[in-house]
Amino acid sequence: MGPESSDSGPCCGYRRRVDLLTPQDATRFWLSRRACNDLFLLYCFDDTGWSAEALRAAVIARSAEIPELCVRIREHRFAYPAWEPAAFDEAQVVVHTSGEPLWTTVEASLGEILAESVPAQRYTWRVHLYRGIRGAPGGSGPALVVVLQLSHALADGRRAAQIARELLRGLDAATRGDGDSSGGSGDAGSPVGPAVIRHHGRRIRPGLGRGAEALAAEAIALLSFLPGMARTVRRGLLAARADSELNSLAEAGEIPSAAPDFAPTGLNHPPAPTRRAVRVIAGESLHIPGFTVTVVALTAISVAMSRYLAACGESADPLGAQVSMASPVTTDRKAAPHNNYRDVGVDLCVAEPDLRLRARRIAAALAERRIRATHPLQSARDRVTDAIPAPVLRRDIAGYPLDLVPDRISGHTVLSSVHRGEADLSIAGGQVRFTAGFPALGAVMHLTHGLHGLGTTVTLSVHADPQVVEVDDYARLLRGAVREVGARLTAD
């Protein structure tokens, strides 16, 4: 669509300057063209009977006040893609009405929508609404299920939770007729912070028309291509030196050694999923004194996965999980990425039969991964990515064989763990029950887990390829494992 298209006018007070995506965020955008990597944030509320039209109008009105929900991505040939203003598109709010209004219908629908990325060059988010749902966890009455779908280029898990909180607080104000739909300043103790932390990408000189800004971005990218390649090589050498220093520190016992790797199982082979299935485990207690909910969940996953693989005739030792950890915020970069985390491999210690000892070993492994992942020398790799010219990175992502399974992998499954703030959300008087999320699948990852908290309620979710995983069997094993681990960890 051309730079002067009528639907790209000012929105949300968006500044008239080009904010280029950082390489980290552009990577998520380019990957989304090959496989859906969007973020899906599910919130379940008590349904107070508001009409679909009223809810839709509230979403439209509130989203127009949130800058992050008023942008789309403009691709360039030589420069990194840019954020540009975008008006609301009618396709951005979907009211699902097909089938019986049952929780199982919602789960089936989620299996379908998880496969479809938002068209980020038109819009970067979508809201799915399910009204009057019977049998939803967390309450006896009908439920309103809201699913916020975000382009991964726009946010990581923590930032997505902040955006969702701003949207949902505003929806409640809109449905109540409250003139202030700003969402307030938030709670100081909220684990995800009071509001969205807003930072801009690499900026091009302001004061130009958008067409001229795009030309300026392309010209700058062309002129800086060779210097950028030189910086990439130089920083690559520095990163190799940093890796060597990290290994030396590990050998000296000053920092933990590198994360373990694992041989793939039947859960880690192509082809990429063509179907998806989800199950949500809500209402089970994952709060155990002396252990984080992440450790409790990983311990339960270790039990369920080992039993599931054993039933399939596969070796279940060793097993590992890929866990996302927030990266330190650095000040020596041109722009802060919206995606600021690292994935680390964690041994699930399935050879340890005592679940209390296993949980302690998993906790120790997580602590070691955090120490190494946040070491200042790790930032050397990020600086290499920061220097890569856009055409080179785009080409590498387009050509990377996503269905290639290496001999060793960082984990057999994924756990994404995010606390999404206080349980103080409501829509039209209907209180929130729980939240959930579903990390993406891929050719090498056919089973993932989401662990999401709201207040003191924690929900464990399963996202699986039904052609590889018997999802109901696995969910039953996982639910039983959560109870078994809870009983063992609280036993005297």
For residue 177, the tally of other CB atoms under 10 A from its CB is 6
The whole-number pLDDT of residue 333 equals 63
Alpha carbons 438 and 481: distance in angstroms, whole number: 20
Alpha carbons 489 and 295: distance in angstroms, whole number: 11
pLDDT band (50, 70, 90) for residue 201: low
Alpha carbons 337 and 477: distance in angstroms, whole number: 38
* Average predicted confidence (pLDDT) for the chain: 88
Higher pLDDT, 458 or 258: 458
45: nearest Cα among 420, 419, 421, 428: 428
Q: Using an 8 Å Cβ cutoff, are 185 and 195 in contact? A: yes
For residue 178, the tally of other CB atoms under 10 A from its CB is 11
Domain ranges in the chain are 6-196+204-223, 225-490
- Write the pLDDT tens digit of every residue in 350-362: 999 999 999 999 9
Alpha carbons 375 and 227: distance in angstroms, whole number: 28
Token digits for 435?
């939240």
Asked if pLDDT for residue 124 goes beyond 60, the answer is yes
- Write the pLDDT tens digit of every residue in 222-270: 888 888 888 889 888 888 898 888 888 888 888 888 899 999 999 999 9
Could you give the C-alpha distances from 159 to 133, 265, 387, in angstroms and in order? 28, 33, 24
Alpha carbons 333 and 98: distance in angstroms, whole number: 48
Q: For domain 225-490, give the CATH number.
A: 3.30.559.30
- Write the pLDDT tens digit of every residue in 425-437: 999 999 999 999 9
pLDDT band (50, 70, 90) for residue 197: low
80: nearest Cα among 37, 27, 41: 27
- Own/partner pairs, 351-354, CB within 8 angstroms, 24+ separation: 351/317, 351/318
Token digits for 373?
């992942």
Alpha carbons 487 and 492: distance in angstroms, whole number: 10
Alpha carbons 35 and 330: distance in angstroms, whole number: 30
Q: Using an 8 Å Cβ cutoff, are 370 and 295 in contact? A: no
The whole-number pLDDT of residue 4 equals 32
- CATH fold for domain 6-196+204-223: Chloramphenicol Acetyltransferase (3.30.559)
Alpha carbons 200 and 338: distance in angstroms, whole number: 9
- Write the pLDDT tens digit of every residue in 397-453: 999 988 888 899 999 999 999 999 999 999 999 999 999 999 999 999 999 999 999
- Write the pLDDT tens digit of every residue in 137-156: 999 999 999 999 999 999 99
Provide the β-strand partners of residue 346. Answer: 321
Provide the whole-model pTM: 0.89
What percentage of the chain has pLDDT greater than the value 70?
A: 88
Q: Where are the beta strands (DSSP E) in 248-392?
A: 277-281, 320-326, 341-347
Q: Using an 8 Å Cβ cutoff, are 222 and 367 in contact? A: no
